Amino acid sequence: MPTISKEDYIKAIYQLESYPDKSVSTTDVANKLEVSKAATSEMVQRLSEQGFLNYEKYRGMSLTEDGKRTALHVIRRHRIWELFLVDVLGLTWSEVHAEAEILEHSTSDFLIERLDKYLRHPKFDPHGEPIPDKYGNLPELPDWVSLPKCEVGKSYRLVKVTDSSKELMDYFTEIGLSLNKVVMIVSRLSYDNSTIIQVGNDSFNISEKIASNLFFIEDV
Ligand SMILES: [Zn+2]
């Protein structure tokens, strides 16, 4: 297990903050990074002293402008590396996340800007996640919906997957999913809110938990 750095904490808080109406607690951060609450509390204290976040004991935390800028900077490095590893080195979309988790901390701005230029200033990584530009601006995002919210009887195009689990990414590959793949929503079981989708000639029952990692736009 690689060591969890200050940048990992800032990135995790940024990602947790992006859920609407959700204040971020020490427990949320500890769970996301799979570290102890004690270690997290200590880091939160330090980050707050260094001006990266505001923390109030019973209200949770939020990143300052400095914190957000740092998070977007790490995310940019991560996503540019993922794209490079897939497009140039031919790695699969399941393989690149773990590598990018390491490279995102050790790459100079100089090298990232060279990679960005080489890749012709890409806007999305191999999982459909937006790449912030060097000023921290995100490209305009499509109006994606997660699979549990896709309507039965309609066709949708896959535009984004959550990439944090290699096992899950391998499963998506196994059932024939890739970015821009069009699938048909066959039915939804009210019993557990799982969704049956058709990919090519095959149908698969996707649990709600797995389905929440897939994002689509309607294919018209
Ligand atoms: Zn990733």
Domain boundaries in the chain? Answer: 6-63, 145-218
User: Could you give the C-alpha distances from 36 to 8, 15, 50, 115, in angstroms and in order?
Assistant: 14, 19, 21, 36
Evaluate whether the domain defined by 6-63 bears CATH number 1.10.10.10.
yes
Q: How confident is the model at residue 1 (pLDDT cuts 50, 70, 90)?
A: very low
Query: For 128-145, how does the pLDDT look when each residue is reduced to its tens digit (9 = 90+)?
Result: 999 999 999 999 998 999
Dist. CA 58 → ligand 1 center (Å): 31
The pLDDT of residue 22: 75
Task: Give residues whose Cβ lies within 5 Å of ion ligand 1.
Answer: 97, 163
Dist. CA 87 → ligand 1 center (Å): 15
* Contact criterion met (CB below 8 Å) for 134 and 113: yes
Dist. CA 153 → ligand 1 center (Å): 32
Secondary element (H or E) of residue 190? none
Dist. CA 212 → ligand 1 center (Å): 17
Dist. CA 114 → ligand 1 center (Å): 20
Dist. CA 169 → ligand 1 center (Å): 11
CATH level 2 (architecture), domain 145-218:
Roll (2.30)
Dist. CA 79 → ligand 1 center (Å): 6
Q: Alpha-carbon distance 24 to 194, whole Å?
A: 28
Place of tokens 């979309």: 93
56: number of Cβ within 10 Å: 10
The residue-averaged pLDDT of 6-34 equals: 90
Q: pTM for this structure? A: 0.89
Q: How confident is the model at residue 2 (pLDDT cuts 50, 70, 90)?
A: low
Q: What angle, rounded to 10 degrees, do the helices at 96-106 and 65-87 form?
A: 130
What proportion of the chain, given as a percentage, has pLDDT over 70? 99
Query: For 56-74, how does the pLDDT look when each residue is reduced to its tens digit (9 = 90+)?
Result: 888 889 999 999 999 999 9
